[in-house]
Structure 1
Amino acid sequence: MFERRTMKALLAMVLCLSLLTACAGKKAVSEDAAMSDADLLAQLAGRAWVAEYIDGLPVVDMSHTSMVFSTDGKVKGTGGCNSYSGGYTLENGRISFTPFATTMRSCVPALNDQEMRFFSFLNGKLIVKFKSGLLYLVSEEGKPSIFSELE
């Protein structure tokens, strides 16, 4: 009797591990697959993206540094203190931004530093990736800014 239960439990564990491995493998393939610019734009546009990390560093809690992309090449949001708007170009999986128009409010030092880091990070061409529902903008040095979708 003991051997029969042990054998059933062992078979159940092997089956569960096989299913988990198969599911994990499928997820990794879809996340790592290269996306076309049209697919990237479909994921970016019409959503509000809020920064979790900027240039590899975590953001100030509740700072709401955000980006909202439109399908016509415009972007707007808040740097954490000041509102901004501008344009972007998406080409070959890389995004670049035009200079931004921003408000000029005075910020507390921590938010001011983060906002300057955010705007500085957005200079240059950034690789656009999606992983586990998060937006990754990655610099040529490999440092990411990571955004979650605001719901």
Structure 2
Amino acid sequence: MVEGRGIGRRGRVALMGLALVAVIAGCAGSSSTEDPSGVLDPGDDPVVLAPEPLEGRAWTLISYVHDGQDEDVPEGIEITALFEADEGKVGVGSLSGSGGCNQYGGSYVADDGAISLGHLAWTEMACAPEIMVQEMAFLGVISSVTKYATTTTHLTLTDATGSESATFQR
């Protein structure tokens, strides 16, 4: 090779081959896609998804079941739940939120879809009677949950019978 003339024909062919391999590798991604609802469509590829984390997210209640009846959250009322793991631990920590009028809190232990809430305590501010009734119903419902499931947008709590008890969204 003559100095100052570049890499020569063989070098150019090798570089073009490497570039082609890089382009092909970049196009060979997974056939999985995520639709706007946040649900993964794995196509033909088997995909195992880890559950979305329970902790570190503010969840807002959208519905719950009380005495066998589906209940929607009254307009203008925000009922929330925030699970925060103890330092250095996953699945063990504190639960806090708003019941619609009062603040509540307690402890929780969660592992592989199972959840147990410790004793819940709450403030005792006076609110409109219908809000107080709804708040006590909600606190009773979440006190008895035994399972949870999360997606990118929703948290569902279920009771010991497997019945859906409460649904939250992010």
How high is the TM-score relative to the length of structure 2?
0.61
Q: How does 1:139-150 map to 2 (within 5 A)?
A: 139-141=159-161, 142-149=163-170
User: CA separation of 1:27/1:108 partners in 2, compared to 1, >3 Å: closer, same or farther?
Assistant: same
Mapping of residues 1-151 of structure 1, within 5 Å = 27=40, 35=50, 39=51, 43-55=53-65, 56-72=70-86, 73-131=93-151, 133-141=153-161, 142-149=163-170
Deviates more, 1:63-72 or 1:87-96: 87-96
Shift in CA distance, 121/34, structure 1 to aligned 2, threshold 3 Å: farther
Partner Cα separation in structure 1 for residue 165 and residue 95 of structure 2? 19
Partner SS for 2:40:
helix
- Give the distance between the partners of 1:135 and 1:28, measured in 2 at CA: 20
Structure exhibiting the larger radius of gyration computed from Cα positions: 2
SS of the residue 2:143 aligns to: coil
Deviates more, 1:76-85 or 1:135-144: 135-144
Structure 1 unpaired stretches of 5+? 1-21
Q: Share of identical aligned residues, percent?
A: 26
Q: Match for 1:44: what amino acid? A: L
Gaps of 5+ in 2: 1-32, 43-47, 87-92
CA distance in 1, matches of 2:80, 2:104: 10
Aligned residues: 120
Conserved in 1, the CA contact under 8 Å of 2:142 and 2:165? no
- Shifted more, 112-121 versus 122-131: the winner is 122-131
Which digits, 9 at most, give the CA deviation of each residue in 1:6-34, with x for residues without a partner? xxxxxxxxxxxxxxxx877x7367xxx68
Aligned mates of 2:41, 2:109 — CA distance in 1: 28
Amino acid at match of 2:168: F
Q: List structure 1 runs of 4+ shifted beyond 4 angstroms.
A: none
RMSD over equivalenced CA pairs, Å:
2.5
Q: CA deviation at 1:47?
A: 1.1
Higher helix share: 1
